[in-house]
Amino acid sequence: MIKYAFFDVDQTIYPGYSANDFINTSVEEGFCEKIMRERMNAVIEDLTNGELNYHDASQEIMNILGDITEGKKENEVDEIVDKLIEKVGFVEWFIPLYEDLKREGYEIYLVSGGASFIIERLAENIDSEIKVISTEYKIDLEGRYYTHAHPIINGQIKADKIREIITKEKTQEVFSIAFGDSEGDIPMLNEVNQGYLYLPGDKEKVSELARESGYVVFNETGKVEINRGPEESETDQIS
């Protein structure tokens, strides 16, 4: 049997919004002009006021990241990402669970609409074997980022990406689990055998939707039983 585990990043295993944190850290470190944070705040305001939907707001944030990193070397960008990782880290339940799933032979992915240069660096700080699906930012032959369209990986696109992975194996049985935190993760959770929704805040609407769909809902103070697959009779807990 092949086993897969898929983790959303922002507000699921990373306690914040990685793109916003990158923008703030870039301004604080003098890596970009303050106007980039002002642009971010304007997008957040438009989202809050209903002038932008979540997808379009996220796309605007991705465009700001492209403007910040344009012409910057890969190692320069990595230094900024490392600073925000050191400052923010991961939610407490994630690393122990990741280590357990790896020991049990799960192939593990981070699946995020976040920028590839952030999500891939987060993955490197977890384990060299973890795989990443994220919004792609490219570098040129001189190792510098260049501006191009960054179609964001979220919602149904996340689901399509992991369906490709799950269905590529034709000769063995597959068992899959996924973790998310919002309505935007529901399509992804629908693609796996068991979905888990991490809701540390007051998200009653999403919680109700999750239970109707048969997902396991948990928060940072509770426990969740992890379904280890059809051949396993026991369950494990995040506490």
In tens digits, the chain (239 residues) has pLDDT values of 899 999 999 999 999 999 999 999 999 999 999 999 999 999 999 999 999 988 889 889 999 999 999 999 999 999 999 999 999 989 989 999 999 999 999 999 999 999 999 999 999 999 999 999 999 999 999 999 987 666 788 888 999 999 999 998 777 899 999 999 888 888 999 999 999 988 766 566 777 777 777 888 887 766 666 776 665 544 455 54
> Contact, 9 vs 112, CB < 8 A?
yes
User: Cα 115–73–124 angle (5° rounding)?
Assistant: 50
The bridge status of strand 235-238 relative to strand 224-227 is antiparallel
Chain mean position to CA 177? 15
- pTM of the prediction? 0.89
CATH code for position 104: 3.40.50.1000
Region class of 71: left (phi > 0), else alpha (psi between -120 and 50), else beta: left
The parent domain of residue 66 ranges over 2-238
User: Which of the 8 DSSP states describes residue 14?
Assistant: B
Output 213-220 pairs: Cβ under 8 A, ≥24 positions apart.
213/186, 213/189, 215/189, 220/91, 220/92, 220/93
Q: What is the DSSP letter of 203?
A: -
When divided into structural domains, the chain yields a total of: 1
What count of residues does the chain have?
239
